[in-house]
Amino acid sequence: MAISKKMEQAINDQINAEFYSAYLYLAMACQADDMQLKGLASWFNVQYQEEVAHAMGFVNYLQERGGRVVLQAIEQPRVEWPDAVAMFEQTCEHEAYVTSRINDLAALAVEEKDFAATQFLNWYVKEQVEEEATAADILGELRLAKDAPGAMLFLLRELGTRTFVAPVIG
């Protein structure tokens, strides 16, 4: 069954939102690099790659369903944050927003009785739980370490151990 025009549009909008997420985290990675915080830069670089993978998951799905991918302009992200805590505050806020978008997409799939889309979107629903939990955990630890340089250094080094593993989406 061909995908509906409404779902096609919603997925195209989500492709844009995922690429915007990639841009946002790349901007954070670049600032962290400027601050000589390699571990932090590396964590956000991995996050950037994850977001590109999320966008490509939607691109591939839409093509598989016979829809037309229409790439939209990506909004310029913020370029500066006062510190790592502020970066993760925005990360938490942004991931909550993305979760609400994924939920809206899942609701549209149910409304349209598009069960293939429902199945596909389940992966993103679960992924968002993980994305929000990870960002919240790191924010909590960063707040705790804020006034203890030794602890902060340890934490930032630990963030640098994260590696990118291409997700199997769908």
Least distance to ligand OFO, CB of residue 131, Å: 5
Of 98 and 138, CB closest to ligand OFO = 98
Of 18 and 114, CB closest to ligand OFO = 18
Burial class (CB in 10 A: 0-12, 13-18, 19+), 133: exposed
Of 99 and 118, CB closest to ligand OFO = 99
- Cα angle 77-86-160, degrees, rounded to a multiple of 5: 90
Applying CB under 6 A, does 54 fall inside the site for ligand OFO?
yes
- Cα separation, 44 vs 38, in Å, equals 10
Applying CB under 6 A, does 131 fall inside the site for ligand OFO?
yes
Least distance to ligand OFO, CB of residue 93, Å: 11
Least distance to ligand OFO, CB of residue 170, Å: 14
- Pick from 21, 31, 42, 90 the residue near ligand OFO by CB under 6 A: 21
- Pick from 10, 18, 81, 145 the residue near ligand OFO by CB under 6 A: 18
Applying CB under 6 A, does 16 fall inside the site for ligand OFO?
no
- Provide Rg for the chain, Cα atoms: 17
Q: Which long-range CB contacts under 8 A does 39-46 form with residues at least 24 apart?
A: 39/156, 39/157, 39/158, 39/159, 39/160, 39/161, 40/84, 40/87, 40/156, 40/159, 40/160, 42/159, 42/160, 42/162, 43/159, 43/160, 43/162, 44/87, 46/162, 46/163, 46/164
Residue sitting closest to ligand OFO (CB): 21
Least distance to ligand OFO, CB of residue 77, Å: 12
The residues binding ligand OFO (CB under 6 A) are: 18, 21, 51, 54, 95, 98, 131
